Structure 1
Amino acid sequence: MEIFGSSGVRGVVGEEMTPEFVTRVARAAGATFRADGERVVALGRDTRRTGPMLTDAAAAGLAAVGCDVRRLDVIPTPGLQAYCDAEAVPAMMVTASHNPPAYNGVKLVGADGCELSRAALERVEERLLAGHADTAASDDRVDWATVGEVERVDGARRRYVDELLRSVDRERIADADLTVALDPGHGAGALTSPDFFRRLGCRVVTVNAQPDGHFPGRDPEPVAANLPDLGALVRAAGADVGIAHDGDADRAVFFDETGSYLEGDATLAALAAANLEPGDATVSAVNVSQRLVDVAEECGADLKLTPIGSTHIVTRIRELRAEGRSVPVAGEGNGGVLFPPYRLTRDGAYTAARFLELLADRPASEVVEPHTGYENVRLNLHYDDVEERAAMLGAAEAHAADADAELNTIDGYRLDFGDAWVLARPSGTEPLVRVYAEAKSRDRAETLAGALEAAMLAARE
C-alpha cells in the first residue's frame, strides 16, 4: 500500500497532513463504508492541537458522501474501538499515536471494533488514489438533500471505562492494595486511565495527566528517555508500579517498584507466560525479542512473525483464528499488546490492568525477572528524500549479504546470529530507518547496531 502504513497514515500537519488530504481520506473511507452498507461512522481524536481542525475536515468528507457522523471528541483509540464494537459502526480516529506533536494522522476502524484488515485498507486506498484528481471522488458525493448529518455523542469515555472494569479481575487487583504512578503523557488516556485505576481500587498518583496537545511534559512516545519523571514519581510515592501511555493510549509501558524502567519485551514475555498454553499461537513482529521466543517454546505455543505494525499483527491473528487456532495474547515490545479473547485491539489501559493482576502475587521486578538478561539498542537514522532512503536500504542489504547470519526479509533486513540479532527497516510513519539490536551484553548489541548504522550513514553521504 502506498498511503496507509503499518498503523494508518500520518504526517507533519501543514506538510503531508492537511485538512484537504484528511477530507479526501474521509470521502474514500466513507464511500467504502457506504458500499458495504454502513451509513453511520464514528469519529474520534486524541489531544493534539490540530485534532479539532482535522476532525472537522474528516466530518465534512464523511458527510459529503452521505455518511452520518457521530463525533466522540477526545477519546483513546481503544475507547473508540469499544464504541464501534458496541454500536456496530465503523470509525475514523484522528491521531498520530506516539509521533511528535507536529504530527497527526488517520486510523480506520471496522464495525467490529478492530482495525481494518489489509484487504479493506487496500480498497479504501484504491478509491483514494483513483480520486486524486477529484474525479472518482466527485462521483461518490451525494446531493444536498442526502448529505450526512453530524451529531455529538456524550458518554463514550465513561462507557469505555465501565467496560474495562467488567473485563478484568477487579477483586484481585483491589485486594492487592496497589499504588499506581500514572503518566498519560497529556494524551487521550488522561481522560480515562486515572478514573479507571482508581475504580479498580488502586491509589493513583499522576504526572503529565492534563490533556494538552502541545505535550509540554514529555513527547508522546513512552520510551525510557521520555519518562524520567515517572520513575521519580514511583520512588517518591512508594508506588508499586509506574504506567505510561502514548498519545492515543493504545500502549502501556511499565516501571517497577524501585522506579526502574521495564523493557517492553520483558513485560510482553511476562504477560505471554501467564496466558499461553500448549497448542496456542502468539503473534509478534519481526523485531521480536528472544524473550518471547523462549516463552513460546517453554509453553509449547507457536510464534508467528509479521512485518512491524499493529495492522499486520491483527491481520495474522484473524487468519489464525479462522483456522481454529487459539491466540490468547500477541503484540510488540513497544507496549502494544493485544488480548484477542477480549478484543482484537491494542489497549493500554486493559494491558496495564492485566499486568496489575500479576502484581497480586509478587512485585513487578519479580514478575519480569525470568525474562531479563538481554540488552536492547534502538537507533533512528533520518533521511531527507527517497533517494537517500533507497541508498541506506541498499547499504543494509549489502551489509546483510556479507554477514555470517540467518537473514529474514519479511520487513527490512533482520540478521540472526544465534546469540544476538540486528534489524534495519524503514519507519512506516516517519522519514527514518530504524535499527534494532538485541544481545546478552550491551557491548554486543551496540556493536551490531553500530556496524549497520555506519554502513547506512556512509551510503547516505
Structure 2
Amino acid sequence: MTLIKSISGIRGTIGGSVGDNLTPIDAVKFAAAYGTWLKQYRQKDNYRVVVGRDARISGEMIQNLVMNTLVGMGIHVVDLGLSTTPTVEVAVPMEHADGGIILTASHNPKQWNALKLLNEKGEFLDGKAGEAILKIAEQDASEFSEVDNLGKITTNAAYIDMHIDEVLKLPLVNAKAIDKANLKVVFDGVNSTGGIAVPLLLDRLGVHCVKLYCNPTGDFPHNPEPLKEHLGDLSEAVIKEGADFGIVVDPDVDRLAFMDEKGDMFGEEYTLVACADYVLSKIPGNTVSNMSSTRALKDVTESHGGSYTASAVGEVNVVKMMKDTNAVIGGEGNGGIIYPDLHYGRDALVGIALFLSLLAEKKMSVSELKASYPLYFMSKKKIQLIPNLDVDAILKEMAKAYESSNPSTIDGVKIDFEDSWVHLRKSNTEPIIRIYTEAGSQMEADTLADKIISEIKAVSEN
C-alpha cells in the first residue's frame, strides 16, 4: 500500500495504516492543510471551494471527509458530486470560488484515490503552493472554526451540463457540420464519470453513441489507463457496430484517445496532433507539449506557420509554457488537450468536440486522417533503480556523453537527433528512470531505447 505526497496533491491506496496509505485521517489532514494554505493565500473574510469526484468506489467516503473538514474550517463548499476533472476546473471561476479539490486518482486502478488541488483560476497549484501545503500538513499547523463560524455545503449537479454548454459555445466547435456528418461512435466510459458526461456531449452534437461501460460504479472493467492493450472490448465493439470510430477516456476525463473504424488505435499521442491541426487551420499560432510527447506536433505546428515549444513534464509546466508563448493549444502526449479559449486544463470534452469538428469538415475516415500526419513510433521503457543510486549523477553523465547533440536538462535529459529523440527522467512517483524514445519505426525506437538503457547501466556500474 502506498501514500505519495507531492506538490501536485496527495494520492494513495485506500486502507491500511495512517501515513502509509490514503486513510480517512490522511484525507482530513491534507484537506485541512489545503484550507489553511487557502486562507493564507487569499486573505479574505469568506472562502468558497468547489469539490467534485470521479466514480471510484472510495470517492463518496473521501469526498465527505474532505468537504466536512473544510466546513470545520469555516470554508463554504460547492459540492458537484460525480463530476470530471475539467468540469471542476471550469466550475471554480464560474463560482467565483477560491479554489477547488478533485477526488480522483486519474488512470490509476480502483484501489487508488487522490486529492488534486486547484487555485482560484481552476488551475493546478504551482510548486511553491504545493510545497507550502505539504509543510503545513507536516507541522499539523491547521486551525478550525468555532461553532458559529462553520462553513456550509451547497450542492450543484448542473455543472456537467454547464461545462458542455461552454464547449458548444466555442467558435471553433462546428456543431452544424458534426450533426450533418451523421457519425456513429462507440464510447468506453470505464464505468466512471465519463459515462455521464461524454454521451451527453455526443447527443447534443447529433452523434449516435453506442455506450460501453458507462455505468458510473467505479468498478473498472479493465485497467483504466486508455492504452491499446486495455481496449480489446472497444476494438471489437467498433468493428461489430460498424462505427466511424471509438472514443475512450480515463476515469476523471482529462485524457482522451481514439480508435479508428478498423478497431486500431489512432494513437494517444496523435489526439493532440489532430486537435492542434484543426485549431491551427483556423487560428494560426503557437503550440506546447511536454518533452515526452511526439515530434509530430512540432511538424504540424510548423506546417501552419507556428512555433512549437517543449515544456518539462507535468500539466502545470505545460500551462506555464503555454502562457509564456501565447500558445493557442497545447497539452500532453497522453491524450491531454489544453484549449485556453475554454480553460487552462486537460479536457477530454473539448478534445472530442474539436476532433469531431475536424473530422466533419475533412470528410475523411479516422484511418485516413491518421495517415495524413507525420508518422512516428514511440518506445516507453524504464529501469528499476537500486537503493541509494545517485540518479542525478547518472543523468549528468548521460548529458555529458551526448554533449555534441546539445541536450536539454530542463527535465532530466532530452537528446534530439536528426530523425529521433530520447528523453530520460527519474519518476516522481516510482523508484525508476523512464526512457522515452521516438523514431520513424518501432524497431528504431526500441533499438534506441535499448542502446540508452545499456549505456545507463554501464555508467551506474562505474
Whole-Å separation in 1 of the counterparts to 2:114 and 2:48: 21
The aligned counterpart of 2:61 is 53
Deviations 1:146-202 (A, max 9, x none): 122223333333333333333332211111100011111122211111122122111
Percent of aligned positions that are identical: 31
Q: Any conservation in 2 of the 1:10–1:429 contact (CA below 8 Å)?
A: no
The aligned counterpart of 2:195 is 190
1:212 to 217, 229, 232: 217
Whole-Å separation in 1 of the counterparts to 2:133 and 2:444: 47
Q: Does 1:261 align with 2:262?
A: no
Q: Does 1:200 align with 2:209?
A: no
Distance 1:203 1:430, change over 3 A: farther
The aligned counterpart of 1:133 is 139
Whole-Å separation in 1 of the counterparts to 2:147 and 2:456: 54
The aligned counterpart of 1:39 is 47
Letter in 2 for 1:62: L
The aligned counterpart of 2:102 is 93
Q: Any conservation in 2 of the 1:161–1:196 contact (CA below 8 Å)?
A: yes
- The 5 A counterparts of 1:90-239 are 90-116=99-125, 118=126, 122-134=128-140, 136-137=141-142, 140-167=143-170, 168-215=173-220, 217-239=221-243
Whole-Å separation in 2 of the counterparts to 1:239 and 1:279: 32
Whole-Å separation in 1 of the counterparts to 2:382 and 2:217: 26
Letter in 1 for 2:152: E
The aligned counterpart of 1:415 is 415
- The 5 A counterparts of 1:234-383 are 234-276=238-280, 280-320=285-325, 325=326, 327-360=327-360, 361-383=363-385
Alignment length (residue pairs): 444
The aligned counterpart of 1:70 is 78
How far 1:289 moved relative to its partner? 1.6
Whole-Å separation in 1 of the counterparts to 2:160 and 2:375: 39
Which SS does the other structure have where 1:273 is aligned? helix
Distance 1:76 1:52, change over 3 A: same
Q: Can you give the 5+ residue segments of structure 1 that lack an aligned partner in the other structure? A: none
Q: Any conservation in 1 of the 2:379–2:438 contact (CA below 8 Å)?
A: yes
Q: Any conservation in 2 of the 1:328–1:339 contact (CA below 8 Å)?
A: yes
Whole-Å separation in 1 of the counterparts to 2:251 and 2:58: 13
Q: Can you give the 5+ residue segments of structure 2 that lack an aligned partner in the other structure? A: none
How far 1:430 moved relative to its partner? 4.3
How far 1:453 moved relative to its partner? 3.2
How far 1:440 moved relative to its partner? 0.6
Distance 1:161 1:280, change over 3 A: closer
How far 1:455 moved relative to its partner? 4.9
Q: Any conservation in 2 of the 1:187–1:220 contact (CA below 8 Å)?
A: no
Distance 1:55 1:383, change over 3 A: farther
Letter in 2 for 1:177: N
The aligned counterpart of 1:438 is 438
Q: Any conservation in 2 of the 1:3–1:125 contact (CA below 8 Å)?
A: no
Whole-Å separation in 2 of the counterparts to 1:188 and 1:382: 34
Which SS does the other structure have where 1:407 is aligned? coil
- Higher deviation after alignment, 9-18 or 70-79: 9-18
Distance 1:221 1:456, change over 3 A: farther
- Higher deviation after alignment, 261-270 or 39-48: 261-270
Distance 1:307 1:18, change over 3 A: farther
TM-score computed with the length of structure 2 as normaliser: 0.89
Whole-Å separation in 1 of the counterparts to 2:436 and 2:130: 32
Whole-Å separation in 2 of the counterparts to 1:174 and 1:62: 44
Q: Any conservation in 2 of the 1:47–1:211 contact (CA below 8 Å)?
A: yes
Letter in 2 for 1:162: D
Distance 1:151 1:275, change over 3 A: closer
TM-score computed with the length of structure 1 as normaliser: 0.89
Q: Any conservation in 1 of the 2:164–2:349 contact (CA below 8 Å)?
A: no
Distance 1:158 1:341, change over 3 A: closer
Q: Any conservation in 2 of the 1:396–1:452 contact (CA below 8 Å)?
A: no
Whole-Å separation in 2 of the counterparts to 1:235 and 1:123: 48
Distance 1:279 1:82, change over 3 A: closer
How far 1:96 moved relative to its partner? 0.9
Which SS does the other structure have where 1:33 is aligned? helix
How far 1:268 moved relative to its partner? 1.9
